[in-house]
Amino acid sequence: MDKIRIGVIGAGSMGKNHIRVYKDLYSECELIGFHDIDEASAQKTSAIFAVEYYKDLKKMLNDADAVSIAVPTKFHKTYGILCAKQQKHILMEKPIALDTREAMDLIEACNNNGVILQIGHIERFNPAISELSNILKNETLISLDFQRLSPFDKRINDTDVVKDLMIHDIDIMNLLIKSEVDTLYAHGACVFSPDYADYAQTLIKLKDHTLVSTTASRVTEDKVRSLCVNTKNARIYVDYINKSINISRRTNFKLDTGYDIAYKQENIIEKVYVQPHEPLKSELLSFIKCIKSGQIPCVTGYDGLKALALAEKICEAIYPQNSYGLIH
């Protein structure tokens, strides 16, 4: 099969990363260019990456086999359905859409036009999460404790911290545990955003009795991406940023030195080797592979829908006045 011709829609912070990585994947695909509505900014991006800027989106779609869409969430449905009708395969940045109704419209459009829809839940491709999935095959889960904290970023002004940040951890919870929600409690705080929660905490009990807590913040003067897993026999700490895993286990090891006081080690810490690689590169390679082989993506539209549905339930608990996240 010839190289897949890919275009990028949206050249903001995340869109630029897609452009950069697709350029590095020249042996796997052909980055034909990108489209963005901000012409002045797009011209600068075109010069920096030496890639064509398509002012006319229709022309880019005529030249492309597939697209990455990295526009604000409120435009996901519009651009997604447009591309689906043009029979272009889609990698849609998370969340899949503004709400579950729009998500279903997008999924149906892709199904009806026979195109692949992959959702950009990038933590699925974090090598630490891949390794954790293997580790947990031999463990009995008790709880998951997610923390995703960031400083304030005024660029994000069309959604709250649940759909912006926490949704990553909701998706990882869905990946690691195949159980539905039994009970859910959530609270949030508006700090800098007048209508949206910038800080949120949830406590979830799943029907298999696993407990899950999530904390998401975009007003914390430190960047943290971590998961602490408690199992029957171990405590597993995952650092997403450093892509590392430490496991604490109990042991009965004793060392008799011949003296009155014997050395006793009550636990051991395993430092798991994690093969390093860039998650976005793995994500885009997976998208290209799915197009070439016709296989189902690692993160389907339905996966994105499931994560968004739970995010909406959390928003309903935080904003009882409005199901979709706005405080009026």
Per DSSP (E only), the strands in 57-98 are 66-69, 89-93
d(CA 117, CA 302): 9
pLDDT at 58: 97
User: 44 is written with which tokens?
Assistant: 């600068």
Q: What is the pLDDT along the chain (328 residues), one digit of tens a residue?
A: 579 999 999 999 999 999 999 999 999 999 999 999 999 999 999 999 999 999 999 999 999 999 999 999 999 999 999 999 999 999 999 999 999 999 999 999 999 999 999 999 999 999 999 999 999 998 999 999 999 999 987 776 678 999 999 999 999 999 999 999 999 999 999 998 888 899 999 999 999 999 999 999 999 999 999 999 999 999 999 999 999 999 998 776 655 555 555 555 667 888 998 988 999 999 999 999 999 999 999 999 999 999 999 999 999 999 876 544 443 3
Tally of structural domains, the chain:
2
User: 300 is written with which tokens?
Assistant: 């389907």
Does 18 lie in the same domain as 76? yes
d(CA 211, CA 173): 11
Among 203, 202, 226, which residue's Cα sits nearest to residue 149? Answer: 226
Does 89 lie in the same domain as 162? no
Does 199 lie in the same domain as 110? no
Measured at the alpha carbon of residue 204, what is the angle toward residues 77 and 229, in degrees to the nearest 5?
Answer: 100
Does 160 lie in the same domain as 209? yes
Note whether residue 185 is domain-resident. yes
Note whether residue 326 is domain-resident. no
Does 273 lie in the same domain as 153? yes
- CATH code at 181? 3.30.360.10
Does 218 lie in the same domain as 146? yes
pLDDT at 325: 40
- CATH code at 22? 3.40.50.720
Measured at the alpha carbon of residue 106, what is the angle toward residues 102 and 110, in degrees to the nearest 5?
Answer: 170
Does 141 lie in the same domain as 109? no
CB 230 within 8 A of CB 142: yes
Does 102 lie in the same domain as 141? no
Note whether residue 323 is domain-resident. no
Note whether residue 325 is domain-resident. no
d(CA 93, CA 120): 4
H or E stretch at 82? helix 76-85
Does 129 lie in the same domain as 267? yes
Unique residue bearing structure tokens 């293997």: 134
Does 238 lie in the same domain as 180? yes
pLDDT at 259: 58
The residue type at 247: I
66-81 burial, b at 16+ Cβ within 10 Å, e below that, comes to bbbbbbebebbbebbb
pLDDT at 202: 98
User: 319 is written with which tokens?
Assistant: 């904003």
Does 113 lie in the same domain as 20? yes
Note whether residue 324 is domain-resident. no
d(CA 249, CA 311): 33
Domain region containing 147 = 124-277+308-318
- Note if the bond before 95 is cis, omega within 30 degrees: yes
Does 227 lie in the same domain as 206? yes
Rounded to two decimals, what is the model's pTM?
0.90
pLDDT at 322: 54
User: 250 is written with which tokens?
Assistant: 């109990």
pLDDT at 250: 77
**Residues in Cβ contact with 139 at an 8 Å cutoff, skipping those fewer than 6 apart:** 229, 231, 232, 233, 234, 236
